[in-house]
Amino acid sequence: MKIAIIAPMLPPRWSWWQVIDKLAESHDITVYVPEPNCFASWGYEQIRDSRDEKRPFRVEKVKAPISNFLSRNRYAQYAVRSAFDLIMDGTGYYTYRRASQSKPDLIFCPDTPYLASFIATFTAKRGNVPLVMRQAYDKFNKIPLPSYSLYRYVISHVDKFILDTTLREKSLLIHGIPISNINMIPGPIDLGRFKVGKSDFLSDRLGLQNGPIILFVGRLSIIKGLPYLLKAFSRVLPTIPNANLVLVGEGPEKDALQDEAGELGIKDSVFFAGKVDWGEIHRVYQSADVLVLPSIYEQGGGLLLEAMACGVSIVASEVGGIPEVCGGKAVLVEPMNPEAISQAVVKILLDRDFAKKLSMAGRQEVEERHDLEMVTKQWEEVFISAALRE
């Protein structure tokens, strides 16, 4: 089957992109993405790109002639944004043209309600090609106009949806999408790489002394609730004075978090590890004694699955899609509650039987529902069904 994927960026082999890599072993797949220096790369300029990494599918990098001008002219950028988001860049039109000329059997788009989904929908509709999308926006009632109108247009023309949480399913059902068009498929995990084990990766990288490692992985942003994690950690230290808090990732709140760690008197025990290559992330999890995700809101929490596969005990906020991802296999706490976070962390670090129970339950959950090979087969069945218009 010939599959055209229209995407705003090409990330490393994380999450569902692993599925695309596997599908490319038996299907003819081309991914259409804007050039990195296209105007804002359709809004994904903050995510590490991997357009030039070797992948098992073809990558068509699209760039409109006007992009060079827009990328250099700040005033023109504002004009484009106000006119019609980023579509006036012209890259959208060139993407439509090149994808249409390839005459695919199926078009797949990873994201709604972003611009790429509109381009994918327009391309599929003009060419009468079946269209599959991976997710729906779970806060559909908060999408501003004209994005909301685009969202309605997009979802009404999709043949099959692939979702991983019921939060996203609800947004489709409310808009009248038939349940038969919605396919719930768990997030994929490569169990051969993400496996139970111990690693000294973080200790060696940061020069940590002996002591348990409390880990956070993600973007250092307000939505992740990291100030509450710092406050919680300050309450952990009196009970476990040799504990280390390691924050893996970058983001706009890094300086503020470093300042707050100083104000709390815990800066000598808080370590900012920066970005870690995705190829090493399993070693990060294997270095940790407990992973904490204190998010104020979280749609899915795919990194929780990676940590569970590595046998790491988890403390996470009971918000968004987190309970669906790891409910019963983690300690879920009220968001923005440092006391609840600290109590959960202390219990895991001091009660090893409890920690082992969580670890085993998490690994079992991933083995039974999230194995990459199994999930890839489920995706393939949806793609075939859509292509046949069943």
pLDDT digits (tens, 9 = 90+) for 268-296: 999 999 999 888 999 999 999 999 999 99
The model's pTM? 0.86
CATH for 201-369 is: 3.40.50.2000
Q: What is the pLDDT at residue 168?
A: 78
Long-range contacts of 143-150 (CB under 8 A, 24+ apart): 143/113, 146/84, 146/85, 147/85, 147/113, 148/113, 150/113, 150/117, 150/118
Q: In three state form, how does the secondary structure of 300-315 look?
A: CCHHHHHHHHCCCEEE
Higher-confidence residue of 48 and 321: namely 321
Q: What is the per-residue pLDDT for 142?
A: 54
Q: Name the residue type at position 226.
A: L
The candidate with the shortest Cα–Cα distance to 224, out of 193, 181, 254, 261, is: 254
Which residue has better confidence, 64 or 107?
A: 107
pLDDT of residue 320: 87
CA 123/CA 4 separation, integer angstroms: 10
* Residue spans of beta strands (DSSP E) within the chain: 2-6, 28-34, 58-62, 106-109, 131-133, 160-163, 182-184, 213-217, 244-248, 270-274, 290-293, 313-317, 331-333
What is the spatial order of strands in the sheet that 28-34 belongs to? Answer: 58-62, 28-34, 2-6, 106-109, 131-133, 160-163, 182-184
- What is the CB neighbour count within 10 angstroms for residue 130? 20
284 and 276 in contact (C-beta within 8 Å)? yes
How would residue 311 be classed by pLDDT, with cut points 50, 70 and 90? Answer: very high
Rounded CA separation 181/136 (Å)? 12
Q: Is the dihedral of CA 352, 334, 369, 1 positive or negative?
A: negative
pLDDT of residue 348: 98
Q: Which tens digit of pLDDT belongs to each residue from 68-109?
A: 444 444 444 444 443 344 444 567 778 889 999 999 999 999
Q: With pLDDT > 90 as the criterion, what percentage of the chain qualifies?
A: 62
How far is residue 384's CA from residue 106's CA, in Å, rounded to a whole number?
9
- Sketch the domain layout of the chain as residue ranges: 2-188+371-387, 201-369
Same fold, 2-188+371-387 and 201-369: yes
Mean pLDDT score across all residues of the chain:
85
- Torsion of the alpha carbons at 100, 104, 109 and 110, rounded to the nearest 10: -140
Taking only Cα atoms into account, the Rg of the chain, rounded to an integer number of angstroms, comes to 22
Per-residue pLDDT, 267 = 96
Task: State the CB neighbour count (10 A cutoff) for residue 35.
Answer: 17
CA-wise closest residue to 334 among 347, 346, 322, 325 = 322
pLDDT confidence of residue 75 = 44
Give the number of other CB atoms < 10 A from CB of residue 148: 15
Q: Both tokens of residue 77? A: 């950028």
> DSSP readout, 247-292?
EE---TTHHHHHHHHHHTT-GGGEEEEE---GGGHHHHHHH-SEEE
Q: Which CATH superfamily is domain 2-188+371-387 in?
A: Glycogen Phosphorylase B; (3.40.50.2000)
* φ, ψ of residue 183 in degrees (nearest 5): -120, 115
The pLDDT, as a whole number, for residue 73 is 47
